[in-house]
Amino acid sequence: MLCRNWELPDVLRSMRSLEDRFNKDYHYTWTFLNDVDFTELFKLETTAMASGDTQYATIPAEDWNTPWYINETKYNECVKKFTEENIIYGFSKSYRNMCHFNSGYFYKQELLKNYDYYFRVEPGVEYFCDFQMDPFRLMREQKKKYGFVISIIEYEETIPTLWPTVEDFLHEYPDAQNANSAVEFVTNKEPIGFAVLDVETNSAYNLCHFWSNFEIGDLNFFRSDVYEAYFTYLSKSGGFHYERWGDAPVHSIAAALLLDKNEIHRFEDIGYYHNPFHTCPSSNNMRIGKRCICRDEDEDDEQPISDLEPNSCLTKWWKYGSGKRFIR
């Protein structure tokens, strides 16, 4: 979990939920990362909440701060413009640092060196059902490299040049794309056969992304040469800073292009909430068997995502991803 000291109450809520629903039976270690030192109170209370070990690290400044190749004057102008245009988190430099860190640095942190898999947790989230299984084991046994629960549309204004930059990257690294990738899941234009995205024909990003506040993934995917080349290319282009690229579309496009689509897994049986969306297993029997307490769809302060609503990309995943559950 990447978080700030002042988020402690919400950190504890997330921990309580994940411990009760899953980790109390497994005792996996919790790793906490922060761009400033954690307080003693933070460490005390999170250690008490964990059923296993806890470890804490302050992120090295060079992994967090704005890289040298970002022009400060241009950066300030862009932030100003994004602020004036009321683009979500457009005003925030720390949010940009966070997205840049989550895209290219979390898996390089010293405390994670000995790990192969991670489960990203954010403050203030809730898990609605008993897991009754170990998702890490599922990932390993089924050779999955990226796992998600919710997939929705990204705010277009935050990523004006992301897709063109990805196309430039593919041009420069023609072997990068996996021959059995989930490219159709993220593009409007369906490529013919396994063809590498045809940059000449202007294929377009459809804004679908895996909601990355929940992720269970293989750290070695991110540590691979191809992902490193992809991240470096994107970072040097400046879009994390001059625009406001989120780590969600960056991770998602990487997973959709660089992995075999069968290496991406949708956890159909995990109920999850992160403001303002939630998802719950669609099967009634599963909800009962897993003791789910799903959010009431009618709570008026919620904007629950039913997986079949228009801003959800799940139907697209079922069609183009590895989720062809109806015919398997």
Q: How far is CA 149 from the centre of its chain?
A: 10
- Report the catalytic residues: 215
Question: Measured from the CB of residue 34, what is the shortest distance to ligand GDP in angstroms?
Answer: 4
Closer to ligand GDP by Cβ: residue 35 or 63 = 35
Provide the mask over 86-125, with x wherever binding to ligand GDP is found by CB under 6 A and - wherever it is not. --------xx--x-----------------------xx--
Q: Does 122 bind Mn ion (CB under 5 A)?
A: yes
Provide the mask over 240-279, with x wherever binding to ligand GDP is found by CB under 6 A and - wherever it is not. ----------------------------------------
Q: Is 19 exposed, middle or buried (0-12, 13-18, 19+ CB in 10 A)?
A: buried
In this chain, which stretch among 24-32, 107-115, 194-202, 209-217 interacts with Mn ion, using CB under 5 A? 209-217
Closer to Mn ion by Cβ: residue 122 or 307 = 122
The answer to whether the CB of 33 falls within 8 A of the CB of 57 is yes
Find the residue with minimal CB distance to Mn ion.
122
SS (H, E, C) 269-326: CCCEEECCEEECCCCHHHHHHCCCCCCCCCCCCCCCCCCCCCCECHHHHHHHCCCCCC
The answer to whether the CB of 242 falls within 8 A of the CB of 78 is yes
* In the block, residue with structure tokens 């705010």: 155
Question: Measured from the CB of residue 95, what is the shortest distance to ligand GDP in angstroms?
Answer: 6
Question: Cβ neighbours of residue 59 under 8 Å, at least 6 residues apart?
Answer: 33, 34, 35, 101, 105, 109
Q: Does 184 bind Mn ion (CB under 5 A)?
A: no
Question: Measured from the CB of residue 123, what is the shortest distance to Mn ion in angstroms?
Answer: 7
Q: Which does 91 bind (CB under 5 to 8 A by kind): Mn ion, ligand GDP, none?
A: none
- Give the number of residues in contact with ligand GDP, rule: CB under 6 A: 12
Q: Which does 14 bind (CB under 5 to 8 A by kind): Mn ion, ligand GDP, none?
A: none
Distances (CA, A) of 284 to 18, 184, 273, 288: 22, 31, 18, 6
- The interface with ligand GDP within residues 2-41 (CB under 6 A) comprises 2-4, 7, 34-35
Q: Is 268 exposed, middle or buried (0-12, 13-18, 19+ CB in 10 A)?
A: middle
Question: Measured from the CB of residue 124, what is the shortest distance to Mn ion in angstroms?
Answer: 7
Closer to ligand GDP by Cβ: residue 184 or 247 = 247
DSSP letter, residue 241: H
Closer to Mn ion by Cβ: residue 8 or 133 = 8
Closer to ligand GDP by Cβ: residue 54 or 224 = 54
In this chain, which stretch among 48-56, 121-129, 181-189, 229-237 interacts with Mn ion, using CB under 5 A? 121-129
Question: Measured from the CB of residue 222, what is the shortest distance to ligand GDP in angstroms?
Answer: 17
3-state secondary structure of 28: coil
Question: Measured from the CB of residue 274, what is the shortest distance to Mn ion in angstroms?
Answer: 6
* Helix 8-21 × helix 40-49 angle, to 10°: 20
Among 46, 165, 213, 235, binds ligand GDP (CB under 6 A): 213
State the Cα–Cα distance between residues 287 and 229, nearest whole angstrom: 42
Neighbour tally for 127: CB within 10 Å? 23
Q: What is the dihedral of CA 163, 169, 172, 177, to 10 degrees?
A: -90
Contact residues for Mn ion, defined by CB under 5 A: 122, 213
Contact residues for ligand GDP, defined by CB under 6 A: 2-4, 7, 34-35, 94-95, 98, 122-123, 213
